[in-house]
Amino acid sequence: MRLPTGLAETVQVALEDFFGTSIVLENATAVGGGCIHHATRLETSQGPIFLKYNHPHEFGNFEAERRGLGLLHATSTLRTPEPFVTGQSDSHAFFAMEFLESGSRPSNFWEDFGQQLAQLHRQTAPQFGLDHDNFIGRLPQSNRQHPDWVTFFREERLAPQLQLSQQNGLADTALQRSFERLYPQLEGLMPPAEPSLLHGDLWSGNFMTGPDGLAAIFDPAVYYGHREAEIAFTELFGGYAPVFYRAYNEAWPLEMGWKERVDLFNLYPLMVHLNLFGRGYLPQVQRILNRYT
């Protein structure tokens, strides 16, 4: 396949600036799996490169992803694609990063994954949030910083999604009242925690087995948050292998009762899915709210 007119030249110049050497773009092959952006394996004289591209207005999304992958990559815990460069042509925005080949999954894959995620979560910050906003899927994600988790979860996670669902005609006053009843109870329902660096969107579609047989994570929605929010996210669509959770708890034990709090933490991603995909997620949200209110 060929990249769109003008995009190849812009990508080539950006990569040459990044690597500090001349680069030849040899071939481009479409890669499946993405639901938002075009994804391409770009064969170059520097080796294979993973290229995402879309309309110019997606530049902010790409730039946020580059910064998020950079934060994760710098921890040297879980493997991530090394982020290279973002840029824009007249008709496209793009993000070029390391292309990770898929490897075979060894018997200790889940155990190593759990231990490495615990290591990632030990990366801390003074406050919950981040010094910049980003995205979760196509939706903006506010990361305004707060000193305590409950305020951050309420003001930067639940309330914006509730407001968006009301604007989109997906939520009624009953849902709003349910959230209003929940908010005062959150402090008693969620244990205190220090801010941990989170991938932020760690469902089963956002990791792979890397070339070394270890887990590699990608497509982040990074922020410093409560680590139980990440663990809950892994259970959102079926969960990971049981040994993953055992290994995580051996590396850094979670507070007692964490399994009973999974649904509570998952109110945020479920509200995101409500706003992205429609009313099909509303009954699940309401059931969780009924349980806690």
| Residues involved in catalysis | 201
Q: Taking Cα atoms as reference points, which of 187, 165, 190 lies closest to residue 176?
A: 165
Please give the radius of gyration of the chain, using alpha carbons only, rounded to the nearest integer: 20
Residue type, 35: C
Would you state the structure tokens that stand for residue 128, as one six-digit string? Answer: 């919950």
In angstroms, the CA 80 to CA 215 distance is: 9
DSSP 20-79: TS---EEEEEE----SSSEEEEEEETT--EEEEEE-GGGHHHHHHHHHHHHHHHHTTSSB
* CB burial readout 84-119, b (16+ within 10 A) else e: bbbbbbeebbbbbbbbbeeeeeeeebbbbbbbbbbb
User: Is residue 217 classed as helix, strand or coil in its secondary structure?
Assistant: strand
261, 226 in Cβ contact below 8 A? Answer: no
Residue 52 exposed, middle or buried by CB count within 10 Å (0-12, 13-18, 19+): buried
